[in-house]
Structure 1
Amino acid sequence: MINLEDRTYQFARDCRLLVKDLKKTIFNVEDGKQLVRSSGSVGANYIEGNEKLGDKDLKFRIKISRKEAKESEYWLKLLGDLNLDESERIQKLTNEANELRKILSAIINKLK
Structure 2
Amino acid sequence: MNDLKKRTKQFAVDCWFLCKRIPNSREYNAYVNQLIRSSSSVGANYRASQRAKSTADFINKLKIVEEEIDESMFFLELFLEIMKDKNVDTIDKLHIEANELLAITVSSINTARRNQKK
TM-score, length basis structure 2: 0.90
Gaps of 5+ in 1: none
2:35 is aligned to 35
Shift of 1:27: 2.4
Letter of the aligned partner of 1:71 in structure 2? E
| Structure with greater Cα Rg | 2
**Bigger Cα displacement from structure 2, 10-19 vs 82-91:** 82-91
Query: In angstroms, what is the RMSD of aligned CA positions?
Result: 1.0
Any idea what SS the aligned residue of 2:52 has?
coil
Letter of the aligned partner of 2:77 in structure 1? K
Distance 2:102 2:93 in 1: 14
Distance 2:80 2:25 in 1: 14
TM-score, length basis structure 1: 0.95
The aligned length equals 111
Deviating beyond 3 angstroms after TM superposition, the runs of 4 or more aligned structure 1 residues are none
Any idea what SS the aligned residue of 1:51 has?
coil
Gaps of 5+ in 2: 114-118
2:13 is aligned to 13
Distance 1:98 1:26 in 2: 28
